[in-house]
Structure 1
Amino acid sequence: MDTDLDSMSRDELLAEVKRLRAAIRAHRDSSGHELCWHHPDMWALLPEHAEKMPEVPEWPAFIRGCVRYRQSLDEQIPDAPRVAKEFQE
């Protein structure tokens, strides 16, 4: 799957690592409502292009997942600052 890496020079590999790290940092540094969004730019960093559309849960299951995700943030980073900002389109 990652055979494209085999033919890259050291400089090309370093450039690829830096590009991927920048994308990971951008995703890591997302905050607030950005955490809940679909992130196709991350997937676009892969050399292969997936044609498969993501499966989207029905609303009740989706909301339960959102609630569970938010609960996991309380468990994993209980001291993270809390904000009361509403989502703005």
Structure 2
Amino acid sequence: MDADLDTMSRNELITEAKRLRDAIRKHRDATGHDLCWHHPQLWEMLPEKLNPDIAVPPWPKFLRGCVRYRESLDRQKPDAPVLDEEFET
């Protein structure tokens, strides 16, 4: 699956590592409503290009998962500032 790495030069590997780190940092640094979004741009960084089949839970279960995620942030980062803004497209 990662055979492409075997053919890369040292400089190409460094460039690839920096590109992947940049993407991970962008994802890590997401805040506010951006935490809730589907992030296919991360998948697009992989050499194998495919359109993954995603399954979405029904609304009540989906929303319960959102609530659990937000509760986990309260436990793991209780001192995080609160961004009191409505989502707008």
TM-score by length of 2: 0.95
What letter is aligned with 1:75? R
Is 1:20 aligned with 2:20?
yes
CA displacement at 1:2 relative to structure 2: 1.0
CA displacement at 1:53 relative to structure 2: 2.1
CA displacement at 1:27 relative to structure 2: 0.7
What letter is aligned with 2:19? R
What letter is aligned with 2:58? E
CA displacement at 1:15 relative to structure 2: 0.3
1:46-85 correspondence runs (5 A)? 46-85=46-85
Say which SS state the counterpart of residue 35 (structure 2) adopts. helix
- CA distance in 2 between counterparts of 1:48 and 1:13 reads 17
Q: Which residue of 1 aligns with 2:2?
A: 2
CA displacement at 1:5 relative to structure 2: 0.5
Moved more, 47-56 or 36-45: 47-56
Structure number with the bigger relative contact order (C-alpha 8 A, sep ≥ 6) is 1
CA displacement at 1:50 relative to structure 2: 2.7
- CA distance in 2 between counterparts of 1:77 and 1:9 reads 41
Identity %: 62
TM-score by length of 1: 0.95
5+ long unaligned stretches in structure 2? none
5+ long unaligned stretches in structure 1? none
CA displacement at 1:51 relative to structure 2: 2.8
